[in-house]
Amino acid sequence: MSTLFDVSPQAPAATTAAGPRPLVIGIDSSLTSLGIATPDSADALRWKHDDKGHARIEWLRTEVLDRTKAADLVVIEGPSYGSKMLPGQHETAGLWWILTHGLWQRSIPYAVASPHNRTIYATGSAFPAQDHPKEKRARIAKGMVNSFVVEQLGIWCEGSGKFDASDAATLAAMGMDWLGYPLLDLPQQQRRALDGVQWPTETVAVAR
């Protein structure tokens, strides 16, 4: 079983690229719009009720663990440690640990990718919107990741949760690439993102 403390960015990738395609799930953990994706589709889970405490966390936990129960590998976005402490971050961190603990309990290997890893894989740069006004950079970068998913991966991500869904789809693509089943033939400038991911140290079964 893997935890955040026994994964390593130096863990070798699986070399198997034959046989049934593995199921990799990407997760962009969020309380308000949680992105979750397979290599073929993406969704954003949005709580539509007034109760934003335990009921919301339990719904998200149930949804995520149900959708990942057959996964060979889950790639979840880790925290952005450079961000300022904002309202809700304490609860957001709690949700992240609840989700990864659930994966650990079920012996589902998971990898942790930073927001920069995800952006590099989609665009080739951790800061692809540096030439734009500072207040617009984050949104523009999100749009660039979304364009990568829609135009290159061919996964439809629209609506209010499109950026979260496309983030998750990028994470799923990264996991497929690491397992030896790349969805695209990407340049090394983008694939270098895989080197910074905390991959599970145990052997990942690529077919169940």
pLDDT tens-digit readout, 182-191:
999 999 999 9
Read off the tokens for 124.
Answer: 């080739």
Read off the tokens for 90.
Answer: 């304490």
Read off the tokens for 193.
Answer: 């993102």
The stretch 139-152 carries a mean pLDDT of 96
pLDDT: which is higher, 171 or 16? 171
* pTM assigned to the model: 0.87
- Give kind and range of the element (H or E) at residue 77: strand 73-77
Query: Tell me, what amino acid is at 10?
Result: Q
According to DSSP, the β-strands at 73-77 and 42-45 are unpaired
Confidence bin at 106 (pLDDT 50/70/90): very high
In whole angstroms, what is the distance from residue 101 CA to residue 80 CA?
19
Segments of 63-174 assigned E as strands: 73-77, 110-113
Read off the tokens for 27.
Answer: 């997760």
Read off the tokens for 92.
Answer: 């957001």
